[in-house]
Amino acid sequence: MPGEKCSVLLEKSSENEEMYLKAVWLVEEEGKNPVHAVEVARMLSVSLPSVVGMFRKLEKKNLLRYDGRSGVSLMPVGREMAEKIVRNLRLTEVWFRDVLKIDYNSTDPCRFEHVMTDAVAKSLSRVLGYPKTCPHGKKIPKA
């Protein structure tokens, strides 16, 4: 079943690993391709050696491919994981703004992105009227 491998990996991945995958995806979304470790370090406010270490860890899990010179690229399962995390975040931001009427720029939506199941994300999207963009105007990835 599509997404099944990604769901299993999400359950086994750490929140920290998910943040790195999401950061690579977001840098790509900004139009930077290839993505370099320094861009991810800047986005996450971490050291360059921390990024390189995590890239190597994620490469061993076949979630991305890393080369110090040519940069990093997400492998299919890593891309799927990153897109789910971004989708969860952006749906949560819409929910916070439109339904809960609370600050969608707080750290709270980021906490939801790591624990939301596919079923909850699908239901939340339906309840919100299948939004296409988040409050920041960014596209919400499809399920």
Question: Would the pTM count as exceeding 0.75?
Answer: yes
Residue pLDDT, tens place only, 9-24: 555 568 999 999 999 9
Q: Is residue 129 part of a domain?
A: no
Domain enclosing residue 32, as ranges: 4-78
Q: Is residue 74 part of a domain?
A: yes
Residue 13 burial by Cβ neighbours in a 10 Å radius (0-12, 13-18, 19+):
buried
Q: Is residue 139 part of a domain?
A: no
CATH number of the domain encompassing residue 56: 1.10.10.10
Q: Is residue 35 part of a domain?
A: yes
Q: Is residue 37 part of a domain?
A: yes
User: For the chain, what is the domain count?
Assistant: 1
Residue pLDDT, tens place only, 55-96: 999 999 999 999 988 999 999 999 999 999 999 999 999 999
Q: Is residue 142 part of a domain?
A: no
* Residue burial 93-128, b: 16+ Cβ < 10 Å; e: rest: bbbbbeeeeeebeeeebbebbbebeeeebeebbeee
Residue pLDDT, tens place only, 94-141: 999 999 999 888 888 888 998 999 999 999 999 999 999 999 999 999
Q: Residue 112 is which amino acid?
A: F
Q: Is residue 102 part of a domain?
A: no
